Amino acid sequence: MIHAEGVAEVTDATFDGEVLEAELPVLVEFTADWCGPCRQLAPVLSAIAAEETGRIKIVQLDVDHNPGIASRYGVLSMPTLMVFRSGEPVQSMVGARPKRRLLQELEDVLEKV
């Protein structure tokens, strides 16, 4: 998996505890080793994780090693970004994007924290 620095990895086994039971909103990147756009997104996620500590939690899930969660949420394309709040998915985005655009798309989530 392309690991974004400062971003935790979750698995099928840890997903419910780390994401659904989290106090903060959680941005989950569904990723895979073979995904080129996922490589582009890694530094963006690292930067946001560092800048928005205490406002949003960011995690990655490798879909090749954890197909259960990807299947549960109907994830078919990488990277897919899903925001969870209070155990429910509230936003979904597909594809890599620059930091500024991703922050704009997360504005509603970040404002409510």
Closest CA to 45 of 8, 10, 91: 8
Q: Based on the residue annotation, tell me whether 110 is a catalytic residue of this protein.
A: no
Residue 79: asked if its preceding bond is cis (omega within 30°), the reply is: yes
35 counts as catalytic: yes
The residue from 2, 38, 56, 78 that is catalytic is 38
Q: Give me the catalytic one of 35, 59, 81, 96.
A: 35
Task: Please give the span between the terminal C-alpha atoms of the chain, in angstroms, as a whole number.
Answer: 30
State the catalytic residues.
Answer: 35, 38
